[in-house]
Amino acid sequence: MANGLTAILFNEEGNYASELRAHLNAYGGIKIVAEIDEPALLTQTISQLKADVLVANLDPQPEANLALLGEITTTHPAVAVFAICSSTDGPLILKAMNLGLKRFVPKPIDQSFLDDALDQVAAQRSTSSDTGRLITVMGTAGGVGATFLATNLAVELAQLDKGNVAVVDLDYRFGQVATLLDVDCTFTIADLCASPEALEFQVIKQALVKHSSGVYVLARPSSFAQADNMTAANCVGVLSKLLEHYAFVVVDGPSRFDQAAKSVLDFTDLNLMLVQLLVPSVRNALRIVEGMRESGVSLEKNCLVCNRFGRDSAHLSLQDVESTLSMRTFASIPDDWATVSGSINLGEPLVEQSPKSKVRLAIQEIAERLHAPDSDSDEKDDRKKGLSLIGRIFANQGGE
Ligand SMILES: Nc1ncnc2c1ncn2[C@@H]1O[C@H](COP(=O)(O)OP(=O)(O)OP(=O)(O)O)[C@@H](O)[C@H]1O
Ligand SMILES: [Mg+2]
């Protein structure tokens, strides 16, 4: 039933956020592009981000919030507006309908009622679902290899889809994506997040630097002060704009499981959860998975990748990790300090520095598996049917 819809959530009740997010994610294939908890930010966000549906919790101030939603149905008629409310007061429902809201969904939410309503929006929507794929690389402990993987994966994808891949550094303070590719960036993601007005792609393009491999790089902020001003909403706005123009956007991050991370994870197509065969890494991975579950973030997008595999790891096997996390391993990357440190220190991706190394071949294979579903016409049909990227990748590999 997934149809690649995009949604904005409006919710002022902090303790209802997880439940609301879980209901949306239960629909499958929906992307939450923003989660707003302040009425004052709603209009600006709707103008800035492309969304098919606005799902708004009217509580705790139904009358005031309904008036706000009424303004939105007038200014943004293409966005289907759903109101969620604990009150089933007849006049309130009537008012909602008169204001042009598409659905009034009483609490507790009946999932099949919500699914039917979303199906209708999917059938009638005007926005195109033919956007690129967002791939996040989430390290489960410091130094696990997230930057190295994100950077080299983007470069490998760019070999398969020239000019169609961007890599974004979400490690706002210490990100090294630009260093690993030895590019100088005049503008960064901070310059884009600083402008609250709707972002034009031309502006974003100016901040991107093209690496010789063909991958476009969006670097981390140059100063700590700029990093402090980054907001989750603006960051997702930038990613969303990039996806309108690139087939793949690979992100180094999110690195911590904070509010911004939840927004990015809600929005991603595939989250490569990078572990090493070390107890702290696996414990953190488990905490992240539990945090995602508690917050209503979809676990379906998670994919386990084991880095530095093949070292003599005492007392912990990949099977232990899989059973602890209840996840299948998507890929493993061999340990090769000499090759990897050489590539990092020279600022040359493996495809240039060590194209025949096992570690490069492992990342190239990941890129091929991620790229394959979109290059096959049957899979394109699956995509239209709404099968998730991860579902299609594992299906392509014969369910391995
Ligand atoms: N497959 C590998 N074989 C050998 N060394 C590796 C491998 N992958 C990464 N490394 C090494 O691990 C170190 C950390 O890598 P990287 O900076 O990508 O990790 P990170 O998860 O981004 O760290 P941080 O938490 O600081 O952001 C690097 O010095 C790199 O050389
Ligand atoms: Mg890093």
Please determine, for residue 140, whether its predicted confidence score (pLDDT) is greater than 90.
yes
Token pair, residue 244, equals 């309108």
- pLDDT given for residue 383 in this prediction: 45
**Does the C-beta of 143 come closer than 6 Å to ligand 1?**
yes
Task: Express each pLDDT in 211-232 by its tens digit.
Answer: 999 999 999 999 999 998 888 8
Report, as an integer, the average pLDDT of 322-350. Answer: 96
Token pair, residue 195, equals 């402008």
- pLDDT given for residue 124 in this prediction: 79
- pLDDT given for residue 196 in this prediction: 53
C-alpha to C-alpha distances, 259 to 177, 256, 287, nearest whole angstrom: 23, 9, 15
Task: Express each pLDDT in 340-377 by its tens digit.
Answer: 999 999 999 999 999 999 999 999 999 999 998 655 44
Higher pLDDT, 314 or 196: 314
**Does the C-beta of 147 come closer than 6 Å to ligand 1?**
yes
CA dihedral 368, 372, 374, 379 (to 10 degrees): -160
- pLDDT given for residue 102 in this prediction: 94
Band (128; pLDDT cuts 50, 70, 90): low
Q: What percent of the chain has pLDDT over 70?
A: 90
Report, as an integer, the average pLDDT of 285-314. Answer: 91
- pLDDT given for residue 387 in this prediction: 54
- pLDDT given for residue 380 in this prediction: 46
**Does the C-beta of 310 come closer than 6 Å to ligand 1?**
no
Task: Give yes or no for a contact between 181 and 219, defined as CB atoms under 8 angstroms apart.
Answer: no
Band (384; pLDDT cuts 50, 70, 90): very low
- If one residue of 148, 252, 339 were mutated to test the ligand 1 pocket, choosing by the most ligand atoms within 8 A of its CB, it would be 148
**Does the C-beta of 345 come closer than 6 Å to ligand 1?**
no
Identify residue 182 by its one-letter amino acid code: D
Strand order in the sheet with 216-218: 209-210, 216-218, 165-169, 248-252, 133-139, 270-275, 302-309, 329-334
**Does the C-beta of 169 come closer than 6 Å to ligand 1?**
no
- pLDDT given for residue 247 in this prediction: 94
> Rounded to whole angstroms, how far apart are CA atoms 122 and 125?
5
Token pair, residue 183, equals 């590019």
**Does the C-beta of 181 come closer than 6 Å to ligand 1?**
no
- pLDDT given for residue 129 in this prediction: 56
Token pair, residue 103, equals 């659905």
**Does the C-beta of 305 come closer than 6 Å to ligand 1?**
no
Please determine, for residue 29, whether its predicted confidence score (pLDDT) is greater than 90.
no
Of the ranges 151-165, 211-225, 231-245, which one carries the lowest mean pLDDT score?
231-245
- pLDDT given for residue 377 in this prediction: 47
Buried residues in 327-364 as b, exposed as e (16+ CB within 10 A): bebbbbbbbbeebbeebbeeebbbbebbeebebbebbb
Q: Taking each helix axis from N to C terminus, what angle separates 279-295 and 17-26, rounded to the nearest 10 degrees? A: 90
Contacting residues for 93 by C-beta, under 8 A, at least 6 apart: 104
Band (279; pLDDT cuts 50, 70, 90): very high
Band (126; pLDDT cuts 50, 70, 90): low
Instruction: List the beta bridge partners of residue 304.
Output: 273, 329
**Does the C-beta of 308 come closer than 6 Å to ligand 1?**
yes
| Cβ neighbours around 212 below 10 Å, total | 12
Please determine, for residue 154, whether its predicted confidence score (pLDDT) is greater than 50.
yes
Report, as an integer, the average pLDDT of 90-113. Answer: 95
> Rounded to whole angstroms, how far apart are CA atoms 97 and 392?
39
Q: Please identify, by atom number, the ligand 1 atom nearest to the C-alpha of residue 171.
A: 27
From the CA of 146, how far away is ligand 1's center (Å)? 7
Band (1; pLDDT cuts 50, 70, 90): very low
- pLDDT given for residue 202 in this prediction: 82
Question: Which amino acid residue places its CA nearest to atom 8 of ligand 1?
Answer: 145
> Rounded to whole angstroms, how far apart are CA atoms 170 and 264?
10
- pLDDT given for residue 50 in this prediction: 81
- pLDDT given for residue 400 in this prediction: 40
Please determine, for residue 208, whether its predicted confidence score (pLDDT) is greater than 90.
yes
Of the ranges 117-126, 153-162, 362-371, which one carries the lowest mean pLDDT score?
117-126
Please determine, for residue 79, whether its predicted confidence score (pLDDT) is greater than 50.
yes
- pLDDT given for residue 374 in this prediction: 55
> Rounded to whole angstroms, how far apart are CA atoms 70 and 86?
19
Please determine, for residue 123, whether its predicted confidence score (pLDDT) is greater than 60.
yes
Please write down the HEC assignment for all residues of the chain.
CCCCCEEEEECCCHHHHHHHHHHHHHCCCCEEEEEECCHHHHHHHHHHCCCCEEEEECCCCHHHHHHHHHHHHHHCCCCEEEEEECCCCHHHHHHHHHCCCCEEEECCCCHHHHHHHHHHHHHHCCCCCCCCEEEEEEECCCCCCHHHHHHHHHHHHHHHCCCCEEEEECCCCCCCHHHHCCCCCCCCHHHHHCCCCCCCHHHHHHHCEECCCCCEEECCCCCHHHHHCCCHHHHHHHHHHHHHHCCEEEEEECCCCCHHHHHHHHHCCEEEEEECCCHHHHHHHHHHHHHHHHHCCCCCCEEEEEEEECCCCCCCCHHHHHHHHCCCEEEEEECCHHHHHHHHHHCCCHHHHCCCCHHHHHHHHHHHHHHHHHHCHHHHHHHHHCCCHHHHHHHHCCCC
Question: Which amino acid residue places its CA nearest to atom 5 of ligand 1?
Answer: 337
From the CA of 178, how far away is ligand 2's center (Å)? 11
Question: Which amino acid residue places its CA nearest to atom 16 of ligand 1?
Answer: 145
Average pLDDT in the chain: 89
Band (32; pLDDT cuts 50, 70, 90): very high
Ligand of minimum distance to the alpha carbon of 350: 1
- pLDDT given for residue 389 in this prediction: 67
pTM above 0.85, yes or no: no
Q: What percent of the chain has pLDDT over 90?
A: 71
- If one residue of 169, 340, 350 were mutated to test the ligand 1 pocket, choosing by the most ligand atoms within 8 A of its CB, it would be 340
- pLDDT given for residue 203 in this prediction: 86
Q: Please identify, by atom number, the ligand 1 atom nearest to the C-alpha of residue 176.
A: 17
Report, as an integer, the average pLDDT of 254-264. Answer: 89
From the CA of 218, how far away is ligand 2's center (Å)? 14
**In terms of residues, how long is the chain?**
400
